[in-house]
């Protein structure tokens, strides 16, 4: 039995990147998503064999249910709760580590509603300056009054959380600036408070996803295509890391190999799981 | 004759800070400004004796004419052109150092109109990404589309200019975040381009003000109350620096003495100028 097979044997749950790992999509909101080879079969198999899994995305614009519906339309067997946005990891981290603290949100419903769904108090307007947490997510605009309230909250002792550390992202229109991180840096510059990242590649984000799956990072396999995001996160958290090379198109992507296991795509992962399962079911040699 | 008197003899023009130096004001827009002792008399004397002077402010919200009208209402003999905002220094620096380049503005009329008044091309919307300069000034809001265009312009080679380097400022409501600098830092974080400050305490800003007065910083006296802003700027530019202690109230302000000359207020400066003038008119001893 190889090292990789032994690693896979200890896996109790899976955390998947979505774009480039399970689907290819024309737009960042996954409209018109196309499943990558083996994705539908793999998730079906995991559901059948009782492996909890989550699809962890850096998106914080939409709610999990919206993303899940688009993925189901593409054929992936995914329940709403199995899509974990950075709005969800933010809520999980705040509920666990900042119990009772009110949150001032710079962001839209994808950042705000997962907090409300967890019963976390969200404060609006001037009351924001007494918040215990400032959470910065994706938005389309910022006003001076919002920046002012966020800075005052931090000056008053609030922690500064941000859903993404991405300076920029690639789109069909070319490179575009990240919003959440830019605005968090603006607040950090003014207040001197370092932002805490609650999305990829933060280990705490993965710990939050694992907790939602009823387990811990050491028992999780992280599957993704981006060495700087999910793979780095998985490696630092002590998870098994599985690197796919499907990336952003039909050609394999040439990225540094940092995964414990490097495969062409998730179809190969299904083959490996089949083999391991067969071995597990067979008498020990 | 003292060192200070000799310094004053070489002064050909004066650059004044406004708030705390010439006036006290209840609000940052100088509504209801009250002249500090000697301010009206000093400016009147300078006008009469042919000393060019400018009032240099960090404000970029309003146009110079608006500020000048408020100061005249308070009794100060100030022409529109004698009020120099950071919108004006930005325009002077862009006209001189970036001739022919189009400017994408994040800011409001106080930042935009001084450019137009100088005949500098200002580009709007999507065209902004081909701008040669991105200029960040005071505003009340930022949209993702504006940030996107500003970052693309910089990625395409534009320089990044900002009207203020103030992380925060003091108001009646307490400490408040600076806007221009925060947003410039957000763009700098995304693009890796360092912002260039065209307001206080940048030496280039003072050079621009001196140029508008037909002179150079070495022949200018900079008069102000803030060691970190106008006094630092004057010192670094080789100007004569005159530090007043009127500051933000009627009580003298306890700040580090960094001026070539430290006086209680501008009334003392008028006394000194009287004395020097008398000496100049008298036969040399």
Whether B186 contacts chain A with CB within 8 A: yes
Distance separating alpha carbons of residues B282 and A12, to the nearest angstrom? 96
For residue range A114-144, what is the model confidence (pLDDT) as tens digits?
999 999 999 999 999 999 999 999 999 999 9
pLDDT at A60 over 90: no
Show the low-confidence residues of chain B (pLDDT under 50).
285
For residue range B206-257, what is the model confidence (pLDDT) as tens digits?
999 999 999 999 999 999 999 989 999 999 999 999 999 987 655 556 778 8
Q: Which residues of A touch B190 (CB under 8 A)?
A: 167-168, 177-178, 181-182
Task: Give residue A176's Cα distance to chain centre.
Answer: 20
Q: Please report the ipTM that was assigned to this predicted complex.
A: 0.90
A261-263 and A240-244 strand pairing: parallel
Q: Which residues of A touch B139 (CB under 8 A)?
A: 144
In angstroms, the separation between the Cα of residue B61 and the nearest Cα of chain A is 13
| Cα angle: A142, vertex A147, A151; to 5 degrees | 155
**Looking at residue B284, what is its pLDDT?**
55
For residue range A189-220, what is the model confidence (pLDDT) as tens digits?
999 999 999 999 999 999 999 999 999 999 99
Q: Retrieve residue A236's tokens.
A: 């630092």
Do the chains contact at B182 and A177, CB–CB below 8 Å? no
- In chain A, pLDDT over 70 holds for what percent of residues? 95
Task: Give residue B88's Cα distance to chain centre.
Answer: 9
Residue range A91-104: average pLDDT?
97
Distance separating alpha carbons of residues B115 and B58, to the nearest angstrom? 16
**What DSSP designation does A179 have?**
S
Q: How confident is the model at residue A250 (pLDDT cuts 50, 70, 90)?
A: low
- CB–CB of B221/B8 below 8 Å? yes
Q: What is the dihedral of CA A139, A143, B88, B45, to 10 degrees?
A: -160
Distance separating alpha carbons of residues A152 and A85, to the nearest angstrom? 28
Distance separating alpha carbons of residues B108 and A54, to the nearest angstrom? 45
Whether A28 contacts chain B with CB within 8 A: no
CB nearest B178 (choices: A167, A178, A190): A190
For residue range A9-40, what is the model confidence (pLDDT) as tens digits?
999 999 999 999 999 987 777 888 999 999 99
**Looking at residue A279, what is its pLDDT?**
76
Q: Which residues of A touch B106 (CB under 8 A)?
A: none
**Looking at residue A117, what is its pLDDT?**
95
Q: Which domains does chain B have, with CATH numbers?
A: 3-58+201-281 (3.40.50.1000), 99-197 (3.40.50.1000)
Distance separating alpha carbons of residues A29 and B176, to the nearest angstrom? 36
Do the chains contact at A147 and B182, CB–CB below 8 Å? yes
Do the chains contact at A189 and B175, CB–CB below 8 Å? no
**Looking at residue A255, what is its pLDDT?**
74
Distance separating alpha carbons of residues A19 and B114, to the nearest angstrom? 46
Neighbours of A158 (CB within 10 A): 26
Do the chains contact at A141 and B140, CB–CB below 8 Å? no
Task: Give residue B136's Cα distance to chain centre.
Answer: 16
Q: Which chain B residue is nearest to residue A147, measuring alpha carbons?
A: B177
Q: How confident is the model at residue A155 (pLDDT cuts 50, 70, 90)?
A: very high
Neighbours of B69 (CB within 10 A): 16
pLDDT at A280 over 90: no
Give the side-chain half-sphere CA count within 13 A for A223: 29
Whether A140 contacts chain B with CB within 8 A: yes
Over chain A, what is the mean pLDDT?
93
Least confident of A59-63, A78-82, A249-253: A249-253
Q: Retrieve residue B234's tokens.
A: 């004057």
Optimal mutation site among B142, B153, B158, B188, interface A, most CBs of chain A within 10 A: B142
Q: Which chain B residue is nearest to residue A151, measuring alpha carbons?
A: B177
Q: According to DSSP H, which parts of A98-202 are helical?
A: 109-117, 144-155, 180-191
Do the chains contact at A189 and B167, CB–CB below 8 Å? yes
pLDDT at A160 over 60: yes
């Amino acid at each position: 039995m190889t090292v990789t097979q032994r690693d896979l044997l200890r896996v109790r749950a899976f955390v998947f990147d979505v774009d480039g790992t399970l689907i290819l999509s024309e737009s960042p909101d996954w409209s018109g998503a196309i499943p990558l080879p083996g994705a539908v079969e793999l998730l079906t198999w995991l559901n059948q064999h009782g492996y909890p899994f989550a699809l962890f995305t850096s998106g914080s614009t939409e709610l999990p249910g919206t993303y899940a519906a688009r993925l189901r339309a593409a054929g992936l067997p995914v329940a709403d709760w199995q899509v974990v946005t950075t709005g969800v990891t933010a809520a999980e981290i705040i509920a666990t580590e900042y119990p009772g603290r009110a949150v001032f949100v710079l962001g839209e419903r994808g950042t705000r509603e997962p907090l409300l769904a967890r019963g976390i108090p969200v404060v609006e307007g001037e009351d924001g300056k007494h918040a215990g947490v400032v959470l910065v997510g994706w938005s389309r605009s910022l006003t001076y009054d919002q920046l002012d309230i966020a800075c005052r909250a931090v000056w008053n002792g609030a922690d500064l959380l941000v859903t993404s550390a991405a300076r920029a992202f690639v789109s069909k229109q070319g490179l575009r600036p990240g919003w959440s991180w830019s605005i968090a840096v603006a607040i950090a510059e003014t207040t001197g408070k370092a932002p805490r990242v609650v999305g990829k590649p933060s280990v705490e984000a993965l710990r939050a996803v694992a907790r939602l799956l009823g387990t811990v990072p050491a028992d999780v396999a992280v599957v993704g295509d981006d060495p700087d995001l999910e793979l780095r996160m998985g490696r630092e958290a002590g998870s098994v890391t599985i690197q796919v090379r499907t990336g952003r198109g039909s050609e394999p992507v040439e990225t540094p190999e940092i995964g414990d296991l490097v495969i062409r795509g998730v179809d190969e992962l299904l083959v490996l799981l089949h083999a391991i399962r067969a071995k597990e079911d067979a008498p020990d040699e």
